[in-house]
């Protein structure tokens, strides 16, 4: 089970940290990512990480602003978001799958087996 939290409203240039609490399995053995979906748009990959192979991915829109990390002791995955922009407004989801052989797999939402319920992020000026 994945449960997101930490969403909310932020000003342009502000920061938010999203959390994804994992239960039922050891997340450090899984490939996990953060995705977002804005109204009328497809779900897109924001960031993903697979510690077992030491690979990670950031969307161009997230590079330099967002950081995905995990605390295995707390079974929690984080997405630290800084320098927020209005176009970051979306529902954010965390997801996991058992294995990601490459970054191409990481970036395909349809291949993820487990999903959280989502947390809304709204950025305004």
pLDDT at res. 36 = 98
**Per-residue pLDDT, 95:** 96
* pLDDT score at 15: 98
The pLDDT tens digits of the residues spanning 68-106 come to 999 888 889 999 999 999 999 999 999 999 999 999 999
Contact in structure between 105 and 31 (CB atoms under 8 Å): yes
What is the model's pLDDT at position 45?
97
pLDDT tier, 30 (very low <50, low <70, confident <90, very high otherwise): confident
Q: Which long-range contacts (CB under 8 A, 24 or more apart) does 52-57 make?
A: 52/28, 53/100, 53/101, 55/100, 55/102, 55/103, 55/106, 56/103, 57/33, 57/103, 57/106, 57/107
| pLDDT tens digits, 43-66 | 999 999 998 899 999 999 999 999
> Model confidence at 29, in pLDDT bands (50, 70, 90)?
confident
SS3 56: strand
Q: Which helix (H) or strand (E) holds 105?
A: helix 103-106
Question: Cα 110–102–111 angle (5° rounding)?
Answer: 10
Q: Look at residue 4 and tell me whether its pLDDT is greater than 90.
A: yes
Q: Is the pLDDT of residue 28 over 90?
A: no
Specify the pLDDT at position 25. Answer: 72
The predicted structure's pLDDT at residue 65: 98
pLDDT for the residue 72? 83
Q: What residue has token string 């709204």? A: 122
């Amino acid at each position: 089970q994945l449960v997101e939290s930490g969403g909310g409203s932020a000003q342009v240039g502000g920061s938010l940290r999203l959390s994804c609490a994992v239960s039922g399995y050891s997340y450090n053995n899984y490939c996990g990512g953060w995705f977002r979906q804005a109204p009328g748009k497809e779900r897109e990959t924001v960031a993903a990480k697979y510690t077992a192979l030491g690979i990670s991915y950031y969307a161009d829109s997230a590079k330099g602003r967002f950081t995905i990390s995990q605390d295995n002791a707390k079974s929690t995955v984080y997405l630290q978001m800084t320098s927020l922009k209005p176009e970051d407004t979306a529902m954010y989801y965390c997801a996991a799958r058992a294995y990601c052989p490459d970054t191409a797999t990481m970036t395909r939402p349809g291949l993820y087996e487990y999903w959280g319920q989502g947390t809304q992020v709204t950025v305004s000026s």
